[in-house]
Structure 1
Amino acid sequence: MEVAVVFLPLIGALVAGLFGRQIGDKGAVFVTCGLMLLSMVLAIIVFFDVAIGGNPRTTELFTWIDSGTLEASWALRVDSLTAVMLIVVTVVSALVHVYSVGYMHHDTSVPRFMAYLSLFTFSMLMLVTADNFVQMFFGWEGVGLCSYLLIGFWYDRPTANAAAIKAFVVNRVGDFGFALGIMAVFFVFGSVEFDTVFAATPGQVDTVIEFLGMRVNALEVICILLFIGAMGKSAQVPLHTWLPDAMEGPTPVSALIHAATMVTAGVFMVCRLSPMFEFAPTALTIVTVVGGVTAIFAATVAICQNDIKRVIAYSTCSQLGYMFFAAGVSAYGAAMFHLFTHAFFKALLFLCAGSVIHAMSDEQDMRRMGGIWRMIPLTYGLMWIGNLALAGIGIPGVFGFAGFYSKDIILESAWAAHSGVGQFAFWMGIAAALLTAFYSWRLLLLTFHGAPRADEKVMAHVHESPKVMTVPLMVLAAGALFAGILGYPYFVGSQMEAFWGGSIFVLPENNVIEAAHHVPTWVVLAPLVVGLIGIAFAYLLYMARPDLPGRIVAHARGLYLFLYNKWYFDELYDRIFVRPAQMLGYGLWKGGDGAIIDGFGPDGVASASRGLARRFSRLQTGYVYHYAFAMMVGVVILVSWYVWAQGG
């Protein structure tokens, strides 16, 4: 059954991609959506069988690589960790497919778009079902390729092309580290199979290797290199700059990338490799620090953005930081829990934003919105649910939205770690929770409330989205409402050990989730309190006193520009990497390729030939006596040569 879950989206992609012209838009939509929905249903069945029923299994399809000592089979590993990802990927992807039917209705390349979506889903499913490092790398690179195709889907837009190239190049930086890590795994363990490597890891704790001219702990280096790959794919500082630009793609793409597929790959990879990371404390410290820094960095940037999709994009970046520092303090179950709940409310927010953009005639700037909540009440209500889940609002012991349960257990785990990096991550997470609530309600109030700021022509056409777009929103809203309370006992509660089985490994001394259930009351209440403060502050600035934001910006313009320009990371990278690379490339092009290779090669030979031809062409004057003279000279030369030859 898991074979069908993985390969049905691939069949849909091939049919829509290769035969799109023959079957048309409706045929492509029917095939891709139908197969994706079927894959979703089968994934739910697999989830209950494997995760709830406790029947993990590995299905080997064929031997993929057999070269010397390198052996890698193509197999589908389905345990609880994989089963959770199958639910996340297939459910969100199926809903995005259906939503796209309405959102992309007027596009001229619907079959191509639907094929890309299904291929993206297949690549992610291959990644999460991988049974070895090489197979995981195949899915890893497939996801990167599909993100390039989808971000640059509207290839007639220069900004979309630039964003697609940026995402591809930045991810190559991380993927280089990931590839080195896989090579190091094979070098140290002699295998790329997960089970073989995991079983041998405790015996390699003290192994030392040569790396960059230094003798270093092999396991630490391997885990750090693998995490560099996760930093690129999951947009962690400093490899995060591609994520906001990915908004150049259609909104359904943003929802799929940010909620269920590409950006969650890094979190999944770290959790999958927990049997290795648990024996690499330095690597875990780096994961924690990077996650904490990313959580606060992205939240500070989000409060100053005006594009509705960019605000949600930076929110994704921030929430991924939560997931990583949870994994960094060994709370892998909490990281996967937040990944699970985040998929629902973040996909909901993105698709609600798409509904707003659809209603506002493709307008994305929140400064040109406002006053539309009565015109699109369903989207407005669903956006409320998504925001409440993102802000983590709930009443302890009674009911909370999805993010309330998953974000709180992460913060409680960071506190319960009782380490320096754990405390750092906790306070970064608390600060990020305050900012998250603020920018969420800033988005809501600027978009839906206040006086209309769009022109009359746009306001006259504001309308609720069709059912093909709103029904997926309602399904995602149900997840944002109930995924937390339903999943809590299994992911991080009383059923945790039975649920995860052997798919996640935690050393006994690192079991912070158990300790997280016994933290002080103020630690439990702190995220809710700061969340409510953030909401109140947003209401004050954008409803009660809308004049205050402008005055604050005027008094702190330097800080505002620093945050608005994303801490100037793009400008820094442009100066350090892009411009020198351009200058080097230009110099090699003009001075090396043009002047030396072409100058002495094809261009030089051609120039010499033209020169000789030009000189010989001067002999062709058209005068008979010139030709007669040339003939006489030729005769003299021939006779002289003959006489000389005979004399010799």
Structure 2
Amino acid sequence: MVSLLLFLPLATAVFVGLGHRVTGARGAEISAVVSAIFTALWAWLVLLALGDAPHQEVLGHWMDVGEGALEFSLQIQRVNAVPIALATSLSALLQLYALAYLAQETSFGKEVFRPRFFALMQFATFAFILFAAAGDLAMLFFGYQALAFAAMFLIGFRYSRPTAGKAALRAFMFWQVGALALLLMATLIGGKLDADGVVFLLENRPVPLLGPIGSVLAVMAFAGLLPMQGWVSGTAETPLPAATLLGVLVIGGAGLLLWHLLPVFTALPELGLLVFWIAAASGVYALSVAVVQLDVLRAGVWLMVAQASLGAMLFAVASGLRDFIVPFHFWTSGSGWALLLLGLGAAAFVAGGERDLRRIGSGFRHHVPSLFWPVLIGGVALSSVGGLSILGLLRAGGGWSEVLAFGLLNFANSFAVWRLIFRVFFGRAALAKPTVALPRRLALPLLPLALAALVAMFSLTALLLASGGVGLLELSPVLASAAGILGAWLFYRTRPNLPKSLAHDWPQTNRFLRDGWRLDGLYSALFATPVHGLANAVLRLADGGALAGANRTFAALPGFVTRRAARWQARGRAGLVFFVAGAIFVLLIYLGGRAVMGVFYG
């Protein structure tokens, strides 16, 4: 059952990406949507069929490590089965949403690009299932790498745009830092995953500190936490359905990665505290950037980092409820964030593709109520469910310092969320009426998400009321969320000129926040520029010798490959390029992993 759940999206991705010349573009799209719906239904059947004991399937053997072995295995239990079911369901809704949304895509001219988009959406779904259901460190590593490829392909989907190509490369490099950190952790710790998590095979061997630190770096790169946030802004380069899927997979996958590595954090509680404060700082950073963005999608992308940060903080603080946190945070924050972003994206769609908050607004809540009410539910879910979940989970552990950090983040999170809602549906923008009719396929996927958010709010409220009294400590995050909504109302409804005057009075601060604290420039100065200069120096030293000829030969290879790839893309063979590149990279990782493990363990 689990093998079918894993390989069906991959087979669909290959079929849609390579077989659309036979089926036609429309046939490939319909095949992808039908397969996505079937995968979601199968995931729910797998969840319902699970018992109390985890279900494990071994797909193959990788290598012997010390006294044990690394195998390609899948492990399903309720902690990861719920996120898989939610992710596959959301993937199906997003592909249905994309059937209408891609009608405004103008980046490709006459090129047949829609099958490639649906193939990449299917591949991202496969990558997440592989990552979530990993039963050992080998499968977890390959799942991480598959998600890295999915992120790169989705962000670079509009490959004709230079900004998209650069963003895709940056995302891939940051994710590779996390993948290498994960490989370092697996190598130095020498463990594997089973039903209980990481099992240390070499118990008598001292574990170097770099091993556990590698797990923290992997989480930071995956969730876009400081200082690994450089790839996040590039998510806005891809079409909205792809950005939403990638964001939801990051929100849910960050908690799953922490859960996979739970014994590492259990053995070293200081790592959990480190993750908590890194996530708190990352949440503050992401929300400070989100509240000054004028592009709807870019603001929503930074809200994604805030939700992932809150999830990591919850995981670190409530040690006794981590099996509950991972699926429930994915359910609440993932569905609420997706509902908000898809609703705002649909509003931009009916505005003729306009995403600037200064040009869309005012009358939209009257002209498109089918968008306004789901977005309103999403906003309430992101505010109230976040606060309610935190107040309940604080009972499992945590003191006033954690309460203060959660309260500040809930205030900023609610303010940033409701800023978008008030500006799009209540603002005083130049475009007061929609210019394009709202397709039914854009509004239809919002209904299940709204229902999921409502169920989450009511069920969690009932659980908290049944668990005992609620005091000031428990109410503080909810009060902070309410204060954030009130602050957004004051800024964007009562005194709508106040944000503009603040931006005018503090132009340097506004530009500093909008540019992401200028960390990208700092990274370029510290890393990219020195490495580029070193490479040029080496080439100058080698100029005129035998090494120069070899350099010119090897330097010509990337250009040749790039030209051939571009020619194949122009001929509609982009899917083949992607899959061949992925297969080669996976083969290199496989052989490199065997070599590295052989050095350490003979």
Specify the TM-score bucket, using the shorter chain as the normaliser.
0.7 to 0.9
Partner of 1:426: 403
| Structure 1 partner of 2:227 | 238
Q: In percent, how many aligned pairs have the same letter?
A: 25
The SS at the match of 2:267 is coil
- Which residue of 2 is the match for residue 361 of structure 1? 352
Q: Which runs of structure 2 are paired with 1:160-179 in the superposition (5 Å)?
A: 160-179=164-183
Q: CA deviation at 1:238?
A: 0.9
Q: In 1, distance between residues paired with 2:306 and 2:137?
A: 27
Contact 1:296/1:429 (8 A) holds in 2: no
Contact 2:215 2:261 in 1 (8 A): no
> Is the Cα contact below 8 Å between 1:36 and 1:94 reproduced in 2?
yes
- 1:387 aligns with one of 379, 384, 388: 379
Q: 1: CA distance between counterparts of 2:454 and 2:296?
A: 22
CA distance in 1, matches of 2:482, 2:551: 71
Instruction: Work out whether 1:294 is the aligned partner of 2:292.
Output: no
Give the residue type in structure 2 aligned to 1:432.
L
Q: For 2:74, what is the secondary structure of its paired residue?
A: strand
Pick one of 138, 141, 149 that aligns with 2:153.
149
**Amino acid aligned to 1:19:** G
Report if the CA contact (8 A) 1:291-1:425 is conserved.
no
Q: Deviation digits for residues 168-198 of structure 1, max 9, x if unmatched? A: 1111222221110011122xxxx53435974
2:118 maps to what in 1? 114
Other-structure match for 1:463? 437
- 1:537–1:600: structure 2 CA closer, same or farther, 3 Å change rule? closer
- Of the three residues 179, 182, 185, the one matched with 2:186 is 182
Q: Which residue of 2 aligns with 1:97?
A: 95
2:361 is the alignment partner of 1:370: yes
Give the match for residue 84 of structure 2: 86
Identify the residue that residue 213 of structure 2 maps to in structure 1. Answer: 224
Q: Which residue of 1 aligns with 2:563?
A: none
| Cα distance change of structure 1 residues 280 and 453 upon mapping to structure 2, 3 Å threshold | same
Q: What is residue 316 of structure 2 aligned with on the other side?
A: 328
Query: What is the TM-score normalised by the length of structure 1?
Result: 0.78
- Give SS of 2:361's match: coil
Aligned equivalent of 1:409: 392
**Aligned in 2, Cα 1:470/1:594: closer, same or farther, shift over 3 Å?**
farther
Residue by residue over 1:219-262, the C-alpha shift from the partner in whole angstroms, topping out at 9 and shown as x without a partner, is xx433211211110111111012112211001011110111x24
Q: Which moved more, 1:120-129 or 1:358-367?
A: 358-367
Change (3 A) 1:165 1:594: same
| Alpha carbons of structure 1 residues 493 and 100: separation in structure 2 relative to 1, 3 Å | farther
1:44, 1:602 → 2: CA distance?
54
2 CA distance for matches of 1:247 and 1:596?
45
Aligned-residue offset at 1:529:
1.8
**1:600/1:290 CA distance change after superposition, 3 Å:** closer
Name the SS for the 2:71 alignment partner.
Answer: strand
Gap change, CA 1:11 and 1:199, over 3 Å in 2: closer
Contact 1:184-1:222 within 8 A present in 2 as well: yes
Are the aligned partners of 1:562 and 1:568 in contact in 2 as well (CA < 8 Å)? Answer: yes
Q: Is the 8 A contact 1:389 1:404 kept in 2?
A: no
Q: List per-residue Cα deviations over 1:423-463 (Å, max 9, x = no partner).
A: 44432221111111112121112112233324x9xx56243
Deviation of the 1:373 alpha carbon: 2.3
Structure 1 CA distance for aligned equivalents of residues 373 and 211 of structure 2: 47
Unaligned runs of 5+ in 1: 393-401, 495-516, 604-648
Match of 1:58 among 56, 59, 84: 56
Question: Is this contact kept in 2: 1:322–1:407, CA < 8 A?
Answer: no
Determine if contact 1:387/1:441 at 8 Å carries over to the other structure.
yes
Contact 1:237 1:294 in 2 (8 A): yes
Tell me the alpha carbon deviations over residues 535-575 of structure 1, each in whole angstroms, 9 at most, x when there is no partner: 22222222222221122233444433332222221121121
Tell me if structure 1 keeps the 8 A contact 2:240–2:342: yes
Q: Partner letter of residue 92 of structure 1? A: L
> How big is the shift at 1:493?
10
Residue matched to 1:11: 11
Q: Aligned pair in 2 of structure 1 residues 575, 7: CA closer, same or farther (>3 Å)?
A: same
- Residue identity matched to 1:150: L
For residue 593 of structure 1, report the CA deviation from its aligned partner: 4.6
Shift of 1:3: 2.1
Select which of 453, 461, 465 maps to 1:480: 453
Give, as a single letter, the amino acid of the residue that structure 1 aligns with 2:333: H
Inter-partner Cα distance in structure 2 for 1:15 and 1:601: 40
1:123 aligns with 2:104: no
CA contact (8 A) 2:247 2:304 kept: yes
Is the contact between residue 197 and residue 263 of structure 2 (CA under 8 Å) also seen in structure 1?
A: no
Structure 2, unaligned stretches of length 5 or more? 106-111, 553-602
**Residues 508-547 of structure 1 aligned to structure 2 (within 5 Å):** 521-547=471-497
* SS of equivalent residue, structure 2 residue 367: coil
Partner of 1:273: 261
In structure 2, how many angstroms separate the alpha carbons of the residues matched to 1:69 and 1:592?
48
The 2-side partners of 1:577 and 1:21 are apart by: 44
Deviations 1:278-321 (A, max 9, x none): 11112112111111111222122211111111111111111111
Query: What pairs with 1:550-561 in structure 2 (closer than 5 Å)?
Result: 550-561=500-511
Q: Secondary structure at the match of 1:546?
A: coil
* Deviations, residues 73-111 of structure 1 (Å, cap 9, x unaligned): 332211111212212211111111111111124653111
Question: Cα distance, 1:64 vs. partner?
Answer: 4.2
- The answer to whether structure 1 residue 566 and structure 2 residue 546 are counterparts is no
Contact 1:295 1:428 in 2 (8 A): no
- Specify which of 554, 567, 585 is matched with residue 535 of structure 2: 585
CA contact (8 A) 2:71 2:138 kept: no
- SS of the residue aligned with 2:83? helix
Q: Aligned partners of 2:226 and 2:402: how far apart in 1? A: 15
Residue identity opposite 2:84 in structure 1:
L
Tell me how far apart the structure 2 counterparts of residues 376 and 234 of structure 1 sit (CA, whole Å).
34
Structure 1 residues 350, 596: CA separation in 2 closer, same or farther (over 3 Å shift)?
A: farther
- Partner deviation per Cα, 1:603-632 (whole Å, 9 max, x = no partner): 9xxxxxxxxxxxxxxxxxxxxxxxxxxxxx
What does residue 437 of structure 1 align with? Answer: 414
Report what 1:139 is aligned to. Answer: 143
Give a deviation string over 1:391-447, Cα, whole Å, max 9, x none: 12xxxxxxxxx445334334555xx324xxxx4443222111111111212111211
Aligned pair in 2 of structure 1 residues 287, 519: CA closer, same or farther (>3 Å)? farther
Instruction: Give, as a single letter, the amino acid of the residue that structure 1 aligns with 2:256.
Output: F
Q: Once the 2 structures are TM-superposed, how far is the Cα of residue 121 of structure 1 from its aligned partner?
A: 0.5
* 1:146 positional shift: 1.2
Once the 2 structures are TM-superposed, how far is the Cα of residue 65 of structure 1 from its aligned partner?
A: 4.0
CA RMSD of aligned residues (A): 2.7
Judged with a 3 Å threshold, the aligned counterparts in structure 2 of structure 1 residues 410 and 235 are, in CA distance, closer, same or farther, namely: farther
Pairwise CA distance, 1:55: 4.6
Q: CA deviation at 1:484?
A: 4.1
